[in-house]
Structure formats: C-alpha cells, structure tokens
C-alpha cells in the first residue's frame, strides 16, 4: 500500500513548486487503490513558523482539491516522539553534544568560505573524552543551558538510489556533522522528518531535488536507527525562463495570487502536471482521478522544467471553456451579484464570445461590466446615431442575426467605413475599444438600453 506525504514548513506561502510536490504525492498515493496521502506540517522552526502560513497552505491545498487522507499532523505536537528517538541515538553513540559557541561556528564558516570550501562543522566536539563531555554538560546546566546535539556521520561515502536521479553519491567528508536537536531543545527538520516518515509508515517520498543533500543526511539517520528508508524520488526544480531558480522576481507566484487573479484550480493542476512529468497524452488533465490513474514514478523526468505563464494561461482557457458559459455566469454573479439579474442566455453568448480573450474571471467581469453600468458616451455620440436608433426602434425579433443585418445595412446606407461605424458605436454602447461582437452586445443590452445609450440626453 502506498503512503505518501506532503510536508510543508509553515514559513511562507505555498508556491507553484510546493503545489507541484503536493500534487505529485497526491496523485501517486491515489494511483493505486487504498493509497494514502498524508499532510504533515513541519513546524519545529519556531521562529519562522507562523499559524497564518499554515492556514494559508491548508486553504490552498483544499482549493486545489488536494484533500489529504490523514493529518494534518504537526511536528510541534509530537515532540516526545523525537525525544525518545534522540535517546536511542544517544545510546548508540550516533549523536554527541556540541558546546561550540555561535561565535566559533561563525568564524569557522567564514574561514571555510574564504578558502572556497563549503561550510561544514569540523567535528571539534566529537572527539571530547567522556569526562570532558560530562564536565562541560555540568557547567552548561549550572547556567541553565543545554548543548545542541549533532549527528556523527560515518566517514564513508553515502550512496542511495533515487527513482528519478538514479544512484546518488555524496563523497566521504562532503558533509559535516549536523545538528539534530538545537540547544533550545527543539529538534531540527532533518531529524524529525526521519522519525515521522518512519512512524507514519511513509513508503515514498517525492520532493524537489534541492532536498538531495538532506536525503543524504537523513539516510544516515535511518540507518543509525535501523529503520528502512522510504523510496525517494527527487523531482527537478522548476526554473524560470532564464533557467534560474524561481524567485519573486522571476515568477514564483504564491498560489493565493493565482486564485485572486481568477485562475481555476483545475487549470493550475493541469499545468503543474506537465512539469517534469510526462503525463500521457490521452489523460484528462482536468480530472485528478484520471491524472492519478496515469501517474507513475517511471514517467518523471530528471531534467528541469521551465515555468511558463503562457502554458498556464493555455490551460486556463481550456479549463474555462470546459467549465462552460452557464457555470461562468454563476461565477460572475459571485463577483458581482448584479450579473445574476441579467438574461442568462445572452450573457452566456457574450461570455462564449470573449472567453478566449479574457480567460480570467475578473477580466471577464471587467469586459462585461458595461452590461451593469451605462458608460459616459457623450463624446462618442455621432449624428447618425439618432437614425440608427430609429432603425432599431421597431426591429423584431431583437436577435443577434437581425441586429447584424440591420447594422451592416445601416453602415452601407450611411456610406460609413467599418471603423468609422463600429468603433464609436462600441464606445457609446460599452465604453470600451474592444470586446464581444456588437450584435451580441446589442442583443444582451436590450432595445431600451441600446436606444438610451445611442441617444443620450436626446431620449
């Protein structure tokens, strides 16, 4: 039985990278019957974890439809579990107390960086004699303080199998002994994650490849505790078009913002499904169920994917078309209740006509706001508009086909060129320079309103 997890740290908002990780874990869990997708909040970094980030991440996941089967578990509520695993590591001599001051560590780091070496702990406290250790512990405790605890890495090469990257090797000495419990007693993510993945019987970990160095360290903890590591699959990071790490500047937008801009969750999922996963052609990208059935670790790609807003917009267009005009009428009414009072048939016809141009709901609302509010129009008024009003006064039926005929015939009669006629007409009716086909606009506005807008004060 597959058990996966999404384990966000509530230190910021959910961005597309995190959302894709959540999606893939969700899909993989549901690719087989009885799979379980679990949500765990990695919140042991007290200084940086905020409840509002947690709330936001959970709300985003729900909005995306990525419902979890278990959780949310919070690491901050599971501290005794980590404590007992730390005891085990202590008994085995796999961890040791470190008394190094912040100042010493900062100097060490600076020196290493200056020499062009990656910063890592030099193991000073690892070799203290038992007696020295006891003495220092005593000394510290008298001051009411505790040491931090470091994991004693073996001096051999770390090798593990990754389902996307193949065999991954970290040469001996490339990592320093790392902290598992801070001096304030809080366990560190690297360690808590191992304990939880074991206790929660996680079978597969799918996450971004920026975690590869963490995996190397976590493999060592699994081994020290005699636990079997879940299968790991590290997906390549999502890069900007300039092939840089996504940042605020290069387009890492929080999911919240996409929601506010009017993207549909189905569009985001369909888009994210294509980032480093070769989703089979025949899959319905708008169905999480279909995506899950098609999902397999085998089709994950090791090469980075590029974030492309045009692609996202493509999926948005497809998703809104699929949603259909009638549902979009309802959606519009949630943004402005006045849309609910309009004739749904002509509103739907307008929506269908402009959807490709305005696939985001707020854009659609703005493009159709002329239905709700009469534009100023005075400057656009032309002398021929009075005659047009007369031509329309008795028109029956008031249908877009008939309107189309009348408009074209009128333009010809008046000897007006297309732009001389349509542009002022559109301006006076809608206040905009572009938008839906004019016969549709007239039909939706209705005779009375069209005459009023054409004649202005002359009415």
Contact residues: ligand GLU, CB under 6 A: 7-9, 42, 189, 193, 207, 211
Q: Helix (H, G, I), strand (E, B), or coil: what is residue 141?
A: helix
Provide CB contacts within 8 A for 334, sequence distance 6+: none
Q: Which is nearer to ligand GLU, 17 or 377 (CB)?
A: 17
Alpha-carbon gap, residue 225 to 246, rounded angstroms: 36
End-to-end CA separation in angstroms for the chain: 74
Least separation in angstroms between CB 75 and ligand GLU: 9
208 conformational bin, left if phi > 0, alpha if psi -120 to 50, beta if neither: beta
Element (H, E) at 265: helix 265-272
Q: Which is nearer to ligand GLU, 204 or 323 (CB)?
A: 204
Q: Which is nearer to ligand GLU, 57 or 371 (CB)?
A: 57
Q: Are 413 and 387 in contact (CB under 8 A)?
A: no
- Can you name the residues that pair with 15 across neighbouring β-strands? 254
Q: Which is nearer to ligand GLU, 208 or 446 (CB)?
A: 208
Least separation in angstroms between CB 323 and ligand GLU: 32
* Token pair for 435: 């938008």
Q: Which is nearer to ligand GLU, 9 or 346 (CB)?
A: 9
Least separation in angstroms between CB 7 and ligand GLU: 4
Least separation in angstroms between CB 317 and ligand GLU: 32
State how far Cα 274 lies from the chain centre: 14
Q: Which is nearer to ligand GLU, 196 or 318 (CB)?
A: 196
Least separation in angstroms between CB 165 and ligand GLU: 15
Q: Which is nearer to ligand GLU, 2 or 7 (CB)?
A: 7
Least separation in angstroms between CB 72 and ligand GLU: 13
User: How many Cβ atoms are within 10 Å of 108's Cβ, its own excluded?
Assistant: 17
CB-based burial of residue 128 (10 Å sphere; 0-12 exposed, 13-18 middle, 19+ buried)?
middle
Least separation in angstroms between CB 193 and ligand GLU: 5
Least separation in angstroms between CB 17 and ligand GLU: 10
Q: Are 385 and 454 in contact (CB under 8 A)?
A: yes
Q: What is the DSSP string of 379-402?
A: GG--THHHHHHHHHHT-SS--HHH
Alpha-carbon gap, residue 413 to 189, rounded angstroms: 78
Q: Are 38 and 200 in contact (CB under 8 A)?
A: yes
Alpha-carbon gap, residue 96 to 9, rounded angstroms: 26
Q: Which is nearer to ligand GLU, 9 or 203 (CB)?
A: 9
């Amino acid at each position: 039985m597959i058990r996966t997890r999404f384990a966000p740290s509530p230190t910021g908002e959910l961005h597309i990278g995190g959302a894709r990780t959540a999606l893939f874990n969700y899909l993989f869990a549901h690719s087989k019957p009885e799979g379980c997708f679990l949500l765990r909040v990695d919140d042991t970094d007290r200084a940086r974890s905020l409840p509002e980030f947690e709330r936001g991440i959970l709300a985003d996941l729900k909005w995306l439809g990525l419902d979890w089967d278990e959780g949310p578990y919070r690491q901050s509520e599971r501290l005794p579990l980590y404590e007992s695993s730390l005891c085990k590591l202590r008994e085995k001599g796999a961890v040791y107390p470190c008394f190094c001051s912040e100042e010493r560590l900062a100097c060490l780091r600076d020196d290493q960086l200056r020499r062009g070496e990656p910063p890592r702990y030099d193991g000073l406290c690892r070799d203290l004699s038992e007696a020295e250790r006891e003495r220092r512990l005593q000394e510290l405790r008298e001051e009411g303080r505790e040491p931090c605890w470091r994991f004693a890495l073996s001096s051999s090469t770390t090798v593990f199998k990754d389902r996307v990257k193949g065999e991954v090797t970290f040469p001996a000495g490339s990592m320093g002994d790392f902290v598992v419990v801070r001096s304030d007693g809080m366990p560190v993510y690297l360690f808590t994650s191992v304990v939880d993945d074991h206790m929660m019987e996680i079978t597969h970990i799918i996450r971004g490849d920026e975690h590869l160095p963490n995996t190397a360290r976590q493999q060592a903890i699994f081994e020290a505790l005699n636990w079997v590591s879940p299968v790991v699959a590290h997906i390549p990071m999502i890069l900007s078009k300039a092939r840089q790490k996504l940042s605020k500047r290069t387009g890492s937008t929080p999911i919240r913002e996409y929601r506010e801009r009017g993207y549909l969750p189905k569009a985001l999922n369909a888009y994210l499904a294509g980032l480093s996963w070769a989703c089979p052609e025949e899959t319905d990208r708008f169905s999480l169920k279909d995506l899950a059935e098609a999902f397999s670790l085998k089709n994950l790609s090791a090469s980075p994917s590029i974030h492309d807003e045009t692609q996202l917009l493509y999926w948005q267009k497809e998703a809104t078309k699929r949603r259909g005009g009638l549902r979009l009428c309802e959606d519009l009414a949630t943004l402005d209740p006045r849309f609910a009072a309009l004739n749904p048939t002509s509103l739907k016809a307008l929506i269908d006509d402009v959807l490709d141009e305005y696939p985001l709901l707020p854009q659609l609302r703005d493009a159709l706001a002329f239905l709700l509010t009469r534009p100023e129009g005075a400057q656009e008024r032309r002398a021929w508009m009075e005659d047009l009003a007369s031509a329309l006064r008795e028109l029956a039926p008031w249908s877009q086909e008939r309107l189309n005929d009348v408009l074209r015939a009128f333009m010809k009669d008046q000897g007006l060129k297309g732009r001389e006629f349509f542009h002022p007409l559109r301006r006076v009716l809608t206040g905009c320079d572009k938008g839906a086909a004019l016969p549709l606009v007239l039909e939706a506005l209705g005779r009375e309103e069209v005459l009023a807008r054409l004649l202005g004060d002359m009415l």
